Amino acid sequence: MIQPTQIDIDRDKGNFRYETDYQYDAGVGLREEVVQYISEVKGEDEWVRDYRLKALDTFSRKPMPTHWATKDLENIHFDKIRYYLAKGQKPSRTWEDVPDDVKQTFERLGIPEQERKFLAGVEAQFDSEAAYSRMKVELEKEGVIFVGSSDGLKDHPEIFRKWFGKVIPASDNKFSALNSAVFSGGSFIYVPPGVKLAQPLQAYFRINAENFGQFERTLIIADEGAELMYMEGCTAPKFETATLHSAVVELVA
């Protein structure tokens, strides 16, 4: 009989934060102006903005889920959360270009070391936007796409729009509607037919701010005969008030 193995996890490893100056701040609370702000600073097309606003309306009408969620969700104060905080709009492609406070955060979490050792690509998100994104050059030559969701929307609309919101529509539940209204960050991955990734891709999501919600949106498309491994990790400091992490991951294979 196989005996279970206990794995020790350092749950305090992510319990730290750095003071950060944000260039973009949508303010506190969820309302139409906040959704408009997010779409505007991202420079999104009209259809994306309209999608967000429709999702906001869906969120306001949907009840809290009861069939899969706990009563703890009743303690969420949506009017006290900050829905968008970012230092910038474009992730750095080299580790040296990452802002110092963000770099120190991810170095303490071991992200660059993991990339060097065994990852085919990594994206590191700090609050609402990716601060660092990089993939091995040889995978780019094979047609693999691994970028942030915002870049996927802008640079690969013919693929992204076809599948966006098809697996998990905004109407699925209250939290999918919330994510659809204020989503920011996350990954867009496309692996062409027959391409098999030998090493995993990883996205890491870090919450640094108090009274903040992180709402990344990830869309993964593995074409016919394609194979990949995708990993996610997330941490946040321990605050006196709660943070909210409500992501959506859509997988098409």
User: Tens digits of per-residue pLDDT, 14-26?
Assistant: 555 556 788 999 9
Distance CA 107, CA 105 (A): 6
What are the residues facing 213 on neighbouring strands?
Answer: 244
* CB contact burial 62-80 (16+ within 10 A = b; e otherwise): beeeeeeeeeeeeebeeee
**pTM for this structure?**
0.86
pLDDT tens digits, one per residue of 163-218: 999 999 999 999 999 999 999 999 999 999 999 999 999 898 988 888 999 999 99
pLDDT at 61 over 80: yes
